[in-house]
Amino acid sequence: MARKRNRLEIIYDILKVIAGKKMKPTHIMYKSNLSHTLMKEYIEELKQKELIKEELNKKGKTYSITIKGRNYLNEYHRILRFTESFGI
């Protein structure tokens, strides 16, 4: 049985899925393996923290990664090492 992901891992998975593309919420949900409720929750948080940005067009909402989001992806290993070292 797959181990339950923690918050940092879920954010990493979402950003990795979005990186370099403009994605619709449903695609994000399936590709990052999240429930609709959880996906909405995380998307809101990521928008608030400016890790992703929302765009509205005729076909609906899409999300793309920001510079902060890319930075998170690039520095993920550093975040992980820190949290593992100090048990946070």
Partner 1 sequence: MVLLSQLLNNLFVHTLFLEFIFFSITFLVSLYSFKIYKISFKREIKLFAISFLLISLSYLSLIILNTTTIFDVWNLLIVSNNKFIGNNIFSLIISSFFKYSQILLFSSGLLVLTYMTLGIENKKTLFLLFLLVILPLLVRESGISLLYFSSSIMLLFIIVYYINIYRITKQIRMLLILAAFVTLFLGTFNFVFAKSINFYFIAAHILTLVAYTLILISLLHAIPHGKKKKQA
The C-alpha angle with vertex 10 and arms to 68 and 81, in degrees rounded to 5, equals: 70
Listed in sequence order, the residues at least 6 apart from 69 whose beta carbon sits closer than 8 Å to its beta carbon are 15, 18, 19, 46, 50, 51, 52
**Site map 11..30 versus partner 1, x via CB under 8 A:** ----xx--xx----------
Residues 38, 49, 54, 60: which binds partner 1 (CB under 8 A)?
49
Considering the complex, state which of residue 57 and residue 74 has its C-beta at the smaller distance from partner 1. 74
How far apart are CB 70 and partner 1 at their closest, in Å? 5
Q: Which two tokens mark 59?
A: 């076909």
3 interacts with partner 1 by CB under 8 A: no
